[in-house]
Amino acid sequence: MTISERRELLHRIIESGLQIAPDALNFIMDQDSPSTLVDIIISDSYTTEYPIITLDILHSILDSTYYEESSVQEQLEDTDDDNHDIVREPAIETGIVEEGKWDILIQKTPEFNLVGSEGTVDDFLALFRDRYARIRQIYQSRIDTANALSPAAAKLRVVDGRRRRAMSREGIRTERAPTQVVLGMVKSKNVSRSGNIIIELEDSEDTLTCIIPGNMSGPDGKTLSEKGGSILIDEVICMSGYVEYVNQIQRMIVRDIIFPDIPTARNLGRANRNLYAVFISDLHVGSKEFLEDEFNTFLNWLRGVDVDSDLKEVVNSTRYLFIAGDLIDGIGVYPDQKADLLLPDIYDQYKALSKFLKKIPNGIKIICIPGNHDACRQALPKPPIPEEFARPLYDLGDRIIMLGDPSQIRVDGVSVLLTHGDSQDDLVTSIPGVSYREPAASMRELLKKRHLAPIYGNKTELAPLRTDWMVIDQVPDIVHFGHAHHNAVDLYRGVLMINSGTFQSQTEFMKKQGIDPTPGIVTYVNLASGEPGVKPFYYFPE
């Protein structure tokens, strides 16, 4: 049978409203009279009863008819799991989801023409002013922080702390200083000998010193020192407390710390049909530690090979594949990397990657962003991987969407925020309890701060643009990170947090960095219900 004839038969099946598993399609195409078999399958009764035709369903359909062609009966008797482990047909012939049936809206992504900067002082100033203004808008939308004061305005309502304490010691009743909410950007953070956290809060006009007592609890029951420990330099934050005048110094005694955070009352985006998205990252194609066998097993799984019965619906209904960066291992990313490379040429790495991605069924849209190992600039935000380096990926045409980091995209009504997660390097050294082994903790903190990379001048490079792309303006339904090489799935205030792990085993460099990967674990999500699941393709030795 010619390729055109095979495509025509597949087109007939799709036009009838059916979806078909790869092994079932291969079986049909191998028959002496495949057209007759397709006629039977797309009859009205079977179309209604079996919207997705698997090999098992195909068996039952044929058993219930008087279709007695000997070659088919022999094939039915001989078919088992061993003779269809690998689907070798081109992806266009084994797609299990109808082509063109995607609902995609790119909400934001840094394009090539939007990320230029001269690196002047004005550019840096514009970046921080934009961050401040946009997060202030988030605070203004909340009842408890809508009227937050600037540091200068807060200083106008000052109580003389010495006088108040003296009157209290003499038994004279004094009114407590009025509680104020002050908004500013964190200029500095220090811890005193007594365990108090001292924050310097600033805006474009003034600064205010804020004392966070180490022995007090906030309204939510958490100790203020615990909440204060997660405060980062350069983040925009609100402090609630009273301002007093002591030793000719105006300072705020903090009673609560209020992060911009994710609103608890909001509408969740959900698909109006039953379909799935799959999330992976950190493939590191080109590395000696790239798990090629496990990745091929995953790709075949997407094609319907060796799928457990309880996951057949997931595979048959998968429509999107998200890849959160580090598609390849790159060149010269870390010292002595060359010794770890199987493919020492970056063009060969992307060429090898494209050969893998071609195995993905055409019914699945691939959406990817760059990571710190990709052939892209290191400073965030990052434009899409340039075509001059990754031409084989662009040759995939409309099967793939190349976006920058960060990007937010809505698929079938579900908003997905994609970032590689470079700033996790900063958080593991800045916030107690955050580690590469627990990437959900860092994702949670960034959602609270409504910013993907708050610290400027640390490990994470930020481009001094006039727009801060790292602010989380729109609350996503799913946030997808990579970089940590450790799979994690968690929920925070209705936002599903995914760190998709890796398809690379541990390198010597990872050992030095304290990264213990959990490779080959794939996360999938039902976009109609929001329910996640994981499927391992790598089994750790006992």
pLDDT digits (tens, 9 = 90+) for 445-483: 999 999 999 999 899 999 999 899 999 999 999 999 999
pLDDT at residue number 59: 65
Q: Which of 323, 372, 328 has the alpha carbon at shortest distance from 481?
A: 323
Q: Which of 320, 315, 316 has the alpha carbon at shortest distance from 298?
A: 315
pLDDT at residue number 423: 95
Domain boundaries, the chain: 3-84, 104-114+264-536, 143-258
pLDDT at residue number 228: 92
Lowest mean pLDDT among 6-20, 252-266, 324-338, 435-449: 6-20
Lowest mean pLDDT among 61-65, 257-261, 275-279, 533-537: 61-65
Question: Could you tell me the pLDDT band of residue 184, with boundaries at 50, 70 and 90?
Answer: very high
Beta bridge mates, 318: 276
pLDDT-above-70 percentage for the chain? 80
* Model confidence, pTM: 0.78
What would the two tokens of residue 146 be? 């809508």
Q: Which of 319, 258, 335, 329 has the alpha carbon at shortest distance from 513?
A: 335
Q: What is the mean pLDDT of the segment spanning 327-353?
A: 94
Q: Kindly give the residue spans of alpha helices, DSSP state H, lying in 331-485.
A: 346-357, 391-394, 424-430, 439-449
**pLDDT higher than 60, residue 504:** yes
Question: Could you tell me the pLDDT band of residue 48, with boundaries at 50, 70 and 90?
Answer: very low
What would the two tokens of residue 496 be? 């599903």
On whether the CB atoms of residues 361 and 301 are closer than 8 A, the answer is no
Average pLDDT, the chain: 84
Question: Could you tell me the pLDDT band of residue 49, with boundaries at 50, 70 and 90?
Answer: very low
Question: Could you tell me the pLDDT band of residue 216, with boundaries at 50, 70 and 90?
Answer: confident
Same fold, 3-84 and 104-114+264-536: no
Q: What is the mean pLDDT of the segment spanning 501-509?
A: 89
Distance CA 71, CA 85 (A): 21
**pLDDT higher than 70, residue 221:** no
Q: What is the mean pLDDT of the segment spanning 251-279?
A: 93
CA distances from 119 to 122, 125, 126 (A): 8, 10, 11
**pLDDT higher than 60, residue 175:** no
Tally of residues, the chain: 542
pLDDT at residue number 157: 67
Q: Which of 291, 288, 374, 379 has the alpha carbon at shortest distance from 332?
A: 374
**pLDDT higher than 90, residue 174:** no
Higher pLDDT, 420 or 513: 420
Phi-psi region of 242 (alpha: psi -120 to 50; beta: other; left: phi over 0): beta
**pLDDT higher than 90, residue 539:** no
What would the two tokens of residue 492 be? 């925070």
Distance CA 250, CA 182 (A): 13
Q: Which of 104, 76, 47, 40 has the alpha carbon at shortest distance from 412?
A: 104
pLDDT at residue number 532: 96
Higher pLDDT, 214 or 298: 298
Q: Considering only the top CATH level, what class is 3-84? A: mainly alpha
Give pairs for 199-203: CB < 8 Å, separation 24+: 199/228, 199/231, 199/239, 199/254, 201/151, 201/237, 201/239, 201/252, 202/151, 203/132, 203/150, 203/151, 203/152
Strand order in the sheet with 104-108: 104-108, 407-411, 414-418, 478-481, 495-500, 487-492
Cα 449 to chain centroid, rounded: 16
**pLDDT higher than 90, residue 244:** no
On whether the CB atoms of residues 501 and 281 are closer than 8 A, the answer is yes
Task: Convert the pLDDT of each residue in 62-76 to its tens digit.
Answer: 654 433 333 333 333
Question: Could you tell me the pLDDT band of residue 116, with boundaries at 50, 70 and 90?
Answer: low
Q: What is the mean pLDDT of the segment spanning 340-344?
A: 94
What would the two tokens of residue 376 be? 């892209």
Distance CA 396, CA 40 (A): 34
Q: SS3 of 284, please?
A: coil
Within 10 A of 480 (CB to CB), how many other CB atoms are there? Answer: 31
Q: What is the mean pLDDT of the segment spanning 104-114?
A: 85
Backbone angles phi, psi at 323, to 5 degrees: -125, 115
* Contacts (Cβ under 8 Å, ≥6 apart) of 37: 28, 31, 62, 67, 72
pLDDT at residue number 245: 79
Distance CA 267, CA 270 (A): 9
Question: Could you tell me the pLDDT band of residue 281, with boundaries at 50, 70 and 90?
Answer: very high
Q: Considering only the top CATH level, what class is 143-258? A: mainly beta
Backbone angles phi, psi at 203, to 5 degrees: -135, -160
236-246 and 180-191 as β-strands: parallel, antiparallel, unpaired? Answer: antiparallel
Question: Could you tell me the pLDDT band of residue 147, with boundaries at 50, 70 and 90?
Answer: very high
Question: Could you tell me the pLDDT band of residue 176, with boundaries at 50, 70 and 90?
Answer: low
Q: What is the mean pLDDT of the segment spanning 57-86?
A: 44
Q: What is the mean pLDDT of the segment spanning 83-111?
A: 57
pLDDT at residue number 510: 82
Which architecture does CATH list for 104-114+264-536?
4-Layer Sandwich (3.60)
pLDDT at residue number 355: 96
487-492 and 521-526 as β-strands: parallel, antiparallel, unpaired? Answer: unpaired
Distance CA 237, CA 183 (A): 6
Question: Could you tell me the pLDDT band of residue 165, with boundaries at 50, 70 and 90?
Answer: low
pLDDT at residue number 300: 95
